[in-house]
Amino acid sequence: SGREIAVATSTDGVHWRYQQIVLAESFHLSYPYVFKSGTDYYMIPEAGGSNWRTGSRTRRTRCSPA
């Protein structure tokens, strides 16, 4: 567990709809920092002791590596 990060959406913050896995790795991932710049959303997850750094970018619910 802790090796995948997925996205879910909600219009009211109570009821959530699962969308898809946006990042899967062979090591621990947690606490993604998500922020918006213009129309793009960026995600930088904590990656435990792997010394790994990455960013992902998405528009709407389609996700792609940055």
- Give Rg (Cα) of the chain: 12
Q: Give the mean pLDDT of the chain.
A: 76
- In whole angstroms, give the CA distance from residue 59 to residue 21: 15
Distance, CA of 37 to CA of 34 (rounded, Å): 10
Task: Tell me the pTM.
Answer: 0.60
Residues 57/48, Cβ–Cβ less than 8 Å: no
Residue 12 confidence (pLDDT) above 90 = yes
Q: Which residue matches tokens 């947690």? A: 30
The 8-class DSSP code of residue 61 comes to: T
**Is the per-residue pLDDT at 33 higher than 70?**
yes
